[in-house]
Amino acid sequence: MAKTCTVSDACIGCGMCCSICDAVFALNDEGRAENVLGDIPADLEAGVEEAAANCPVQAIEVK
Ligand code: SF4
């Protein structure tokens, strides 16, 4: 089953995840990151995991 990820309200909009994996994460109008892709293609899973690991407030949940 494809993985997906969500960004919680804890996001402080630092942009780290967007620079690590810009195919999946973008800042929205509220200055918070969101998953713009939905399901994560297998070749982007590593990038999403890396972004989650580097988020300073642990706002990214991969499931
Ligand atoms: S790395 Fe974390 S805090 Fe920074 S924009 Fe992404 S989700 Fe938000």
> Within 13 A of 48's CA, how many CA atoms are on the CB side?
25
Q: Write the DSSP string, 34-45.
A: EESSSSBPGGGH
Report the separation in Å between the CA atom of 1 and the middle of ligand 1, taken as the mean of its atom positions.
Answer: 25
* For the CA of 20, the nearest atom of ligand 1: 1
Please give the CATH number for the structural domain made up of 5-62.
3.30.70.20
> What is the value of pTM for the model shown?
0.95
* For the CA of 60, the nearest atom of ligand 1: 7
Report the separation in Å between the CA atom of 50 and the middle of ligand 1, taken as the mean of its atom positions.
Answer: 12
Confidence of residue 1 (pLDDT cuts 50, 70, 90): confident
Residues 22-33: pLDDT tens digits?
999 999 999 999
Percent of the chain with pLDDT over 70: 100
Report the separation in Å between the CA atom of 55 and the middle of ligand 1, taken as the mean of its atom positions.
Answer: 5
Ranges of each domain in the chain: 5-62
